[in-house]
Amino acid sequence: MAEIVANLGLGFSIALSPYTLMLAILGCFIGTIVGALPGLGPSNGVAIMIPITFTLGLDAVAALVLLTAIYYGAMYGGRISSILLNIPGDEPAMMTCLDGHPMARNGRPGDALVISGVASFVGATLSTIGLMILAPALSRVAYQFGPAEYFALYLLAFCTLGGMASNNQAKAALASCLGIMIAMVGLDPNSGMARLTGGNLHLYDGVDFLVAIVGLFAVSEVFFFIEKHGKQGALNIVVGRVTIPWAEIWSTRWTMARSSVLGFLAGVLPGAGASLGSFLTYMTEKSIAGDKGGFGTGVAKGIAAPEVGNNAAAGGALVPMLTLGVPGSGTTAVLLAVLVTLNITPGPTLFTERPDVVWGLIASLLIANFVLLAMNVPMVKVFVRILRLPPAVLMPGVTMVSFVGIYALTGSYFDLLLVVAFGVLGYVLRKLDVPTVPVILGILLGGKMEKQLRDAMVLSDGDWTYLVSSPIAVGLLLAAFLGFVAPLFLRRFIRKPPVPDHAKPID
Amino acid sequence: MRVSDRIFGAVVVVGSLGYVAAASQIAAPFFSDPMGSRAFPMLVGTVAAICGAMMILRPDGEPDWPPGRAFGALLLATALLVGYAYALRPLGFLIPTAIVAGVLSWQIAPNPKAAALTGVGLSAGLFLVFRYVLGLSLLGFPRGWF
């Protein structure tokens, strides 16, 4: 305990510098806007901002603080369009539509926004504290991992993320393979020779995952907007004076406590992420309240539960990302790309070698939560106004920012062509219901997965049974198998609520 | 009619087998580890081919593809962005950006006047932000104009 306090002290000494604080506030502001806009979720938001952040030449802590503040901000902001437009700003905010929009239609949009804002704050803060306690403990376990365990762990990430993300296991597995296949292009790390480049010199360095992320997430989104001519619900709810319904918030205290724990756990599981967090918490609270609870008609508990759940999951998802280098969701995959680009290797050693990064980040997240509470309760009307920004201005802006960001970063027209190619690929994949997040994960982890496998074979001199020689590895492989197969059966029982097609962003 | 998944599956099978074939031709280095550079790409390519075959055998329902005109709009947007990639260096930032942003805006909401305004406004506004707030070294106009 004393150790955590000391580390936190170090973290706050970094996070409270005026410069870092300013970045955190800026990130919160941008994040909330991105989250509130229908169609742009946390992963698109962070993806668009990455190249810009790097060209600014921020140091590791500053860049990480800015981008995670955007991540948290987007998680808060997603609820705004759920409540006012009945269109989730991002997928995890989907469940907030169910009670948030009815309450807004009943003439209480301000109350709905305040309750959900407070719920976001509770979920995010408690899960950041959970991260603080669980992550160092998990990193001590991860010290025992050798190549065989890491290989099994990567396999687990692919299996569960793919298994959860899609309705068709073949498509999910295909997406992972596609990403790994792309990751193989370039120089072979062991022999130093080029492979699978087709003789194209531009490909000798491999495919930059930032290029893939911007293409798959941002550009494909623009294509969807063009197809639909930017049709979206009109904002016809007027938000009047915003007051704080204290009694109602207090009445949801147990809902918030339960949902924080559940959401956090859903986030820690690799591959589950925030969407599952909000889904589970809403369903749990609904069954606890029973028929008399009035869920679906605009009750406070129905708004609090999913918002606590998805924000708690956002913090939980950082645990496997920081300690094991395995992201639990699309957005944490994007954040992993950030770390790798900053030359920081996530994993157990991160906590001992770069405590400034880890604890600076955690302290910034705590501060960001208070900033976000201030932005999302008293200042919420500022963000409501942003919903009136027409997509015909927004989406071209997003495209141009992404392109210039990549261009400024790499200075290569070839990378811009790749961005377009990934945009088209992302459009086709999403049309065919092939999840795009495993593709990113594959590009990110494919090289490492191969390296661990080859290292394992070097250690065992080519004996494949080495992969199942330790109980941890066997356990992880079993979990991977279950994670891939279980959704086949669970899908019959758990039906995701239908989402309007135009509001299907990536987690 | 469940053709989309079948066609895509077939493309995946052919592509993956091609990938496996390419991977099998990777030259062996002088000193190699027990597994070498070929095995893992070949393995993953094979799994991808199996997934493609699964899509052919058990396709999902048809996605709602856009009608012909929207499809044309998407092709136009793609061609435009490819052109942008080639034009950005020789023509500078302002002109290509104004054109691309304007056309994209017009494609999303067909209002020529507003679209032209959006294009010019975004181009100029983003240039100012990128150049003077973020300090990126962007060329505004083609080299030699000023």
Q: How far is CA A209 from the centre of its chain?
A: 16
Q: What whole-number percentage of chain A has pLDDT above 90?
A: 23
Q: Which domain holds residue A329?
A: 2-503
| Chain A interface disruption, residue of B30, B43, B104, B106, most A CBs within 10 A | B104
Q: How far is CA A339 from CA A56, A151, A167, A294, B46, in A?
A: 16, 20, 30, 44, 31
Whole-angstrom distance, CA of residue B133 vs CA of residue A56: 10
Identify the band that residue A86 occupies on the pLDDT scale cut at 50, 70 and 90: confident
Pick A416's closest partner by Cβ from B73, B85, B115.
B85
Q: Would you call B10 an interface residue with chain A, using a CB distance cutoff of 8 Å?
A: no
CB distance B23–A184 less than 8 Å? yes
pLDDT of residue A501: 42
Element at A407 (helix H, strand E): helix A391-410
Residue A162 contacts residue A478 (beta carbons within 8 Å):
no
CB distance A404–B63 less than 8 Å? no
How many domains, in total, are found in chain A? 1
Q: Is the pLDDT of residue A363 over 60?
A: yes
**Main-chain phi, psi angles of A470, to 5 degrees:** -120, 150
| Chain A interface disruption, residue of B19, B54, B84, B108, most A CBs within 10 A | B108
Summarised one tens digit per residue, pLDDT across range B63-105 is 888 888 888 989 999 999 999 999 988 898 999 999 999 999 9
CB distance B109–A390 less than 8 Å? yes
Query: Mean per-residue pLDDT for A338-367?
Result: 86
Summarised one tens digit per residue, pLDDT across range A87-111 is 776 677 778 888 998 998 888 989 9
The model's pTM: 0.86
Whole-angstrom distance, CA of residue A275 vs CA of residue A200: 40
pLDDT of residue A56: 77
Within 8 A of B122 by CB-CB distance, chain A residues are 393, 396-397, 400
CA angle A218, A219, A222 (to 5 degrees): 95
DSSP state of A155: H
Summarised one tens digit per residue, pLDDT across range B18-65 is 999 999 888 776 667 788 888 899 999 999 999 999 999 988 888 888
DSSP state string for A381-397: HHHHHHTTS-HHHHHHH
Q: How far is CA A486 from the centre of its chain?
A: 23
Whole-angstrom distance, CA of residue A454 vs CA of residue A459: 9
Whole-angstrom distance, CA of residue B134 vs CA of residue A78: 27
Whole-angstrom distance, CA of residue A42 vs CA of residue A38: 11
